[in-house]
Amino acid sequence: MTARTRRIPRLSGDAVAECLYAAMAAPSIHNTQPWFFRVRGREVEVWTDPERQLALLDPTGRQMFLSVGAAVFNLRLALLAHGRIPVLRLLPEPGRRDLAARIQAGPTTAPSPTAAALAAAITRRHTNRHPFRPTAVPWPVLDELVGAAAAEGARLTVADPIVRDAILSLTRTADGVFGQSDAYRFELAAWTGGRPGRRDGVPAYAYPPRDPSGRLPLRHFGPSTESATFERRPTLVRLTTRGDTPYDWMRAGQALQRVLLTATARHLAASPVNQALEVASLRRLVSSQGYARWCSGSGTAPRPAPRRAAPFSTFSTAARTELRAAEHASQEGGSALGRRCQ
């Protein structure tokens, strides 16, 4: 260890815990939370959890890496909010794709206003599965979202009406494919509903209302007692990358989370419509420029969608104890696992 490295102060136990809470607040498909964290000295390792990979919807792990990439972005932001420059290495060991990233708290810094605003948005970000308000998203805000994706090496495009309608049509086709699959219904059931207090999956109260018009084909997780009419001309955006490797997926996840947090800071929310990306024969039709990673309707939500059951402010005592153990182990040169947080 060099003298320069020794001069970099350690983060406190509370700061380490807060950074991990932020990472665990990232979005993930079906709220599977396919990650875990290991603290090793000054370094946090971010691992994928293949046991939480969706075998039918995500056989290649693309969505899993996208989710883990979003968690890595939150971890980066949290370190910046604590006045530290994040030092990140993606997929640091060739041949070990389960070790998704290593990140260290580097030298001290003053967080930029943008970083501070994005970090503050982490706990406010939510998925909207209800109709948006009937007001168009201003073009300057859309330009800001495009810039957010570009800052992380991805491309966000706003679909024109013809492309928008084509993507929504492909999404309905994908829904038809899934509707005929018993395996899909079984996999979906494993990650929806469940016992009260469950800390992963999609709870019944978060299901979208039925839309008799079928305008915005949101994923239906189960029967809903509500009905609502969705907007006739939703704003639809696509996120694409140049490559199609786990590294590209990790970069896309970070870009996605920067876009979502930028939208949150501007009082917007997103309604994912990714079903066509989960059918191989349809995915290539979603974009002719690059590899499509995410599609979503965007707008101002009338009210926050239901929150997950365990935000960081109500994280369990057992989890806090485990993270304190992680900090102690890091001081002793050992390791510990960070618990998932929903």
Domain boundaries, the chain: 3-123+311-338, 139-299
Q: How are strands ordered across the β-sheet holding 235-241? A: 155-158, 235-241, 291-299, 269-272
- pLDDT at position 199, please? 86
Residue that is written with structure tokens 């970070």 in the block? 254
- pLDDT at position 185, please? 92
- pLDDT at position 225, please? 67
Residue-by-residue pLDDT tens, the chain, 342 positions: 444 445 677 888 899 999 999 999 999 999 999 999 999 888 999 999 999 999 999 999 999 999 999 999 999 999 999 999 999 999 999 889 999 999 999 999 998 999 999 999 999 998 888 888 878 899 999 999 999 999 999 999 999 999 999 999 999 999 999 989 999 999 999 999 877 778 898 888 888 888 877 777 888 887 776 888 888 788 999 999 999 999 999 999 999 999 999 999 999 999 899 999 999 899 989 986 678 788 888 887 755 433 333 333 333 334 444 555 544 544 444 444 443 433
Instruction: Classify residue 179 as exposed, middle or buried by CB count within 10 Å of its CB (0-12, 13-18, 19+).
Output: exposed
Q: Does domain 3-123+311-338 have CATH number 3.40.109.10?
A: yes
- pTM, to two decimals: 0.86
Pick from 118, 124, 160, 126: which is nearest to 142 by CA? 160
Determine the residue type at 39.
Answer: V
- pLDDT at position 6, please? 53
Could you give the C-alpha distances from 16 to 10, 42, 242, 297, in angstroms and in order? 9, 10, 34, 34
- pLDDT at position 325, please? 52
State the fold for domain 139-299.
NADH Oxidase (3.40.109)
- pLDDT at position 4, please? 46
**The tokens of 108 are what?**
């001290």
Is there a shared CATH topology between the 3-123+311-338 domain and the 139-299 domain? yes
